[in-house]
Amino acid sequence: MTAGMTAASAPAAVVPNPASLVTGLAFTGGWVDVFVWQTYGCYANMMTGNLLRCLECLTALRWALIASYVGGFGAFRVVDLSRRRRRTLSSVAPAVFALFALADLGLRLSNGSRWSILLLGVGSGVVNAASADSTGAVTCMVTGHLGRIARSLGDAQLFVNIGEAVDGARKEQGGG
């Protein structure tokens, strides 16, 4: 505060409106679903309605889409749990935008190659993880089984990384 400014006249902190966040996440999720369905014939965010598509991918050994979604969900968890300040949503938003924009650009430049859907899978995993973290539910899924699995994998990876860092610090201090 500057001289002459009282606590009552200090500017209030800007707090995002939770309803705007949920609306934005739902809109973005819906837009991605429509775009990906029209372009690729599947959903990038692994909605429950895609269970048969998911099983088809598994039996055809097409693990990349599933891994990209789980990786995006897990990446959000790692970022979220490793940050001390609760600004994860605003810090991952530019990354999600970049992933979606690069997927669109990749689709246009590659003459319809299906590889750019992997970027949408990662971005959708991040969006769904952010949605689950901030609202307690994934707004575009009926069930959250895959999200729970991805969350557990992200948590496990973070704890492995923290354990390695702690072990390394102990060795540097001569503690074994």
Q: What is the pLDDT of residues 138-156, one digit of tens each?
A: 655 555 666 666 677 777 7
Q: What is the mean pLDDT of residues 72-97?
A: 81
Please say if the pLDDT value at position 99 is more than 80: yes
pLDDT at 25: 75
Contact 28, 127 (CB under 8 A): yes
The CA dihedral of 93, 99, 100, 102, to the nearest 10 degrees, is 140
**Which has the minimum average pLDDT: 24-38, 78-92, 109-123, 154-168?**
154-168
- The pLDDT, as a whole number, for residue 4 is 54
pLDDT at 115: 83
pTM, two decimal places:
0.54
